[in-house]
Amino acid sequence: MKIPKVTEIAKIAKILWWVLFVVVITIVVNAVVKNFWITFPMVLGSSLLIMFYQKLILNPNDDKNVKQPDTNEVYAAREKEIIRIAVNKKGLVTPTDVAMSTELSLEHAKKYLEYLKESGFVRLKIANNGTYVYEFMGILTEDEKKKAEAI
């Protein structure tokens, strides 16, 4: 049996809520009007108009899972978080390390690390078990900094 995703469950719950809304309002209005065949289309049509207004006008991106790109400030803050993690891990970081130490998902942690790799700040290594390890080349110990040669 396939387990539905949370978004699918939310959509089903929203539909059931609208059905319940139509039934309850129909019962209430029908008590006053006393004619089901006038009440039901009137309530159904009104609720559909409200639903479409809410969907199209108020929340146009509600079901599209549109994620706004990070602003420069947010990106810079996340980059600093990742660098702090790399310093604590002596320059070697996995996407799991980043995901566990930040609010980022594993997928987003990997995307940030890939971006840093493509920018030339990080080198990609592969561990024996196939895990990607990102090496921050600019992170040195104090001893390595002292032993650096003048150019």
Distance CA 87, CA 28 (A): 65
Q: Per-residue pLDDT tens for 91-117?
A: 999 999 999 999 899 999 999 999 889
The answer on pLDDT for 135 being more than 90 is yes
What's this model's pTM, rounded to 2 decimal places?
Answer: 0.51
Q: Which residue has the higher pLDDT, 44 or 86?
A: 86
What is the arithmetic mean of pLDDT over 8-34? 80
- Tell how strand 92-93 and strand 132-136 pair up: antiparallel
When mean pLDDT is compared across 34-38, 60-64, 101-105, the lowest value belongs to 60-64
Percent of the chain past pLDDT 90, that is, above it, reads 27
pLDDT at position 41 over 90: no
Q: Which neighbouring-strand residues pair with 124?
A: 134
Dihedral angle computed from the Cα positions of residues 48, 53, 56 and 60, in that order, rounded to the nearest 10 degrees: -120
**DSSP per-residue letters across 75-139:** HHHHHHHHHHHHHHTTTEE-HHHHHHHSS--HHHHHHHHHHHHHTTSEEEEE-TTS-EEEEETT-
Kindly state the tokens that stand for 36: 């089901």
